[in-house]
Amino acid sequence: DAGVIQSPRHEVTEMGQEVTLRCKPISGHDYLFWYRQTMMRGLELLIYFNNNVPIDDSGMPEDRFSAKMPNASFSTLKIQPSEPRDSAVYFCASRLGGVKTEAFFGQGTRLTVV
């Protein structure tokens, strides 16, 4: 397996534009996590899914953020409208179910909102 695949790797957009980040988890994994990493806040959990169903979205900062998982092999994180303070590196991770499983991370999407 190629691992967790995120696209794009870098995104530069203007304030007010819609941004869509994409993630392909490892085949067969039951859980998918979206994180945001900044120097100030570290690695924040935004939302996670189990079998394509959102379980906890309490980390989503505002209504401008939304995430979907239409099937087991694809998830999106959308920001509409984007703001400069959304600039960060966004990571997607996936793992198997069970109590002793590690998470596998993608390479991240570096988002810059100008």
Partner 1 sequence: SQQGEEDPQALSIQEGENATMNCSYKTSINNLQWYRQNSGRGLVHLILIRSNEREKHSGRLRVTLDTSKKSSSLLITASRAADTASYFCALAGANSKLTFGKGITLSVRP
Residues that bind partner 1 (CB under 8 A): 4, 31, 33, 35, 41-43, 45, 48, 50, 55-56, 91, 93, 95, 97, 99-100, 102-108
- The kind and range of the H/E element at 77 are strand 74-79
Is the CB of 74 or the CB of 104 nearer to partner 1? 104
The minimum distance between CB 63 and partner 1, in angstroms, equals 22
Residue 74, classified by CB atoms within 10 Å of its CB into exposed (0-12), middle (13-18) or buried (19+), is middle
Q: Can you say whether residue 34 is alpha, beta or left, with left for phi > 0 and alpha for psi between -120 and 50 degrees?
A: beta
Is the CB of 20 or the CB of 107 nearer to partner 1? 107
Is the CB of 70 or the CB of 98 nearer to partner 1? 98
3-state secondary structure of 15: coil
